[in-house]
Amino acid sequence: MLLADLPSTIDIDTVVRYGDFLSGLEVGILSHAPDGAIEYANDIARGRLGFHGLSGLGLDNTWALCEADGGHLALSELPAVKALCLGRAVRGRVVGCLLGGELHLLRMDAMPVSGRDGHVARVVTAFRDVTPPAVVQEAAEAADRAANQA
């Protein structure tokens, strides 16, 4: 199933009903309200982005997201923010995420979903870790070397 296969109008109850399915995917799924507050995050999203609960989480600079090269990522460049502002999907944006001190690359697609009134009711973001395997292996080997030297 592709994100684009979802109905053009979808409510948060529908997203929650599919929660078990969405948590079983190797894809992070987030649903943001129009004000940016996170309404839903599956297990992969919470683990990759380093948060457990949803209380108080929104589209802000508290996450460890950065540009793919490790540089500063402006809030306005987050795929969900762009999709909210533009009112259209943002696909294929690669951002960096610091996980355990290591830079991982996440490919994000953010899709605005219209409510019954035609206005954006939420933005659903799907992402996948696209860090090249060689980079992950190199980081693991460096961690093993550091542990053995201690």
23/27: higher pLDDT: 27
Residues 67-74: what's their mean pLDDT?
A: 90
Q: Is 61:77 a contact under the CB 8 Å cutoff?
A: no
Q: Reply yes or no on whether the pLDDT at 125 is more than 50.
A: yes
| Predicted structure pTM score | 0.70
Place 1 in a pLDDT band, splitting at 50, 70 and 90: very low
DSSP 97-122: EEETTEEEEEEEEEEEEE-TTSSEEE
Pairing of strands 65-67, 38-41: unpaired
pLDDT of residue 13: 63
Rounded Cα gap, residues 128 and 71, in angstroms: 20
pLDDT of residue 17: 59
As a whole number of Å, the end-to-end CA separation of the chain is 47
69/9: higher pLDDT: 69
Per DSSP, helices labelled H in 60-150 are 79-86, 133-149
* Tokens standing for residue 125: 């973001």
